[in-house]
Amino acid sequence: MSNHRGRVLLCTAIYIVMACSVSLADDQAPPPVDVTGTWSVLAQSAFGRESLKTIQLTQTGNQIRGFFKGPNQSGPLAGFIEGNRIHFSTETRTVLNFRGKVDGNTITGTVGVHGKIGEWTATRMGVPNPN
């Protein structure tokens, strides 16, 4: 009987340590970077065609809302940011899925449409160049 009690106490201790470790890991997650503003986007399709687009982003915590304007369509967008990783999708006739990494006033990443992947780079507008 005491052997069983020892195992129960050991399992309980292990559970508590694991729960504390998960809680500490969550507390150490970096806060989302601020992506609020208007961004000029240069996108290259999977077929090598380039196009200019504009996105306007607002941010509440890690939630992103905004507006997308491209050469062929425009409409709302929504997504999220975790640390410096961004993901958002347009709410347009042809949905575009953007993923990327924010580095100051620049975002680089991939854009998906109809199962094809292209690349994109965005620059925040109205912000002086630090050089």
pLDDT in tens, 6-20: 565 555 556 565 555
pLDDT value of position 30: 82
128, amino acid identity: P
Predicted confidence band of residue 46 (pLDDT cuts 50, 70, 90): confident
Say yes or no to pLDDT of 5 above 80: no
Q: E-strand spans in the chain?
A: 37-44, 50-60, 63-69, 74-82, 85-90, 97-103, 106-113, 116-124
Which position has the token pair 């996108």?
Answer: 43
Q: How many CB atoms lie under 10 A from the CB of residue 27?
A: 7
Strand partners, 60: 63
Predicted confidence band of residue 116 (pLDDT cuts 50, 70, 90): very high
CB burial class (10 A; 0-12, 13-18, 19+) of residue 9?
Answer: exposed
CB 33 within 8 A of CB 18: no
50, amino acid identity: E
- Pick the more confident residue, 94 or 47: 94
Q: What is the pLDDT of residues 50-104, one digit of tens each?
A: 999 999 999 999 999 999 999 999 999 999 999 999 999 999 999 999 999 999 9
